[in-house]
Amino acid sequence: MLTTVTHLLDAHKDTVYHQVPLKYEQYCHYMNRFPLLVTFLGISLLAITNKALADSPYIGIDYMLTDIDIGGENAKPSIAGLRAGVSNNNIAFEAQYLLSTNTDNIYRMEFDLEESKALYVVFQSDTMQGFRFDVSLGYAMNDLAVTGPAETYNGTEEYSGFSWGVSLVQQLPYLDNTQIRLGYQSLYKDSDLEITGIALGLTYQF
């Protein structure tokens, strides 16, 4: 699929670049995915907690601006997500679910990172003066949809593989057990496609 998309992008470089608004039907499609989000995070958190009842559970929300790089061309759709996990002794096990909030286009071809599901082992530094540094290593499954004119590629493909991230976490001084998080994530990478993102979010430690 990526080779086809890359060739189509080259063929459309002389066309007018424009933003296609999100359709109502797409919005309804996304809203229907929220039960999947709750189920995925719930099962993941319960499974992890059963293995570590003495650990400290947490939940977080994020807003991420992604960068989808295909053949040197870039689309930057945005996504929102939930994180849930348990941590102990500077190591956490975390489940993450990301859901599309906006699309972006390259030469009349619309790119949408519909959803991403991932599991991570998070290595946490000691907290010093309210700050902590995290490194995440894991596996992500990403659904990428491409739509465009009839003569171009239209479809959804799953790209799964190794995923990693780094983040800076700060304890909020006036909100107990609440942290603000700024992170960079690599959701997928191969010779044709790279999906990365910069996220800003909040985490609450129970």
- The model's pLDDT over 84-138, given as tens digits with 9 standing for 90+, comes to 999 988 999 999 999 999 999 988 889 999 999 999 999 999 989 999 999 999 9
Q: For 145-197, how does the pLDDT look when each residue is reduced to its tens digit (9 = 90+)?
A: 999 888 777 899 999 999 999 999 999 988 889 999 999 999 999 988 999 99
d(Cα 15, Cα 41) in Å, to the nearest integer? 42
Residue 59's domain comprises 2-11+20-205
CATH number where 149 lies: 2.40.160.20
Count of structural domains within the chain = 1
Q: For 57-99, how does the pLDDT look when each residue is reduced to its tens digit (9 = 90+)?
A: 999 999 999 999 988 899 999 999 999 999 988 999 999 999 9
51 — pLDDT class (breaks 50, 70, 90): low
CA atoms within 13 Å, Cβ hemisphere of 170: 7
Q: Helix, strand or coil for residue 72?
A: coil
Q: How far is CA 119 from CA 28, 97, 124, 154, in A?
A: 27, 9, 16, 29
d(Cα 53, Cα 165) in Å, to the nearest integer? 26
pLDDT of residue 2: 58
pLDDT of residue 137: 97
d(Cα 127, Cα 147) in Å, to the nearest integer? 45
Tokens read off for 76: 């930057």
pLDDT of residue 18: 38
Distance of CA 72 to the CA centre of its chain: 21
- Which carries the bigger pLDDT value, residue 21 or residue 33? 33
> Is residue 188 within 8 Å of 143, Cβ to Cβ?
no
The helix or strand, by DSSP H or E, that contains position 102, with its residue range, turns out to be none
Q: Of 26-30, 31-35, 160-164, 170-174, where does the model show the most confidence?
A: 160-164
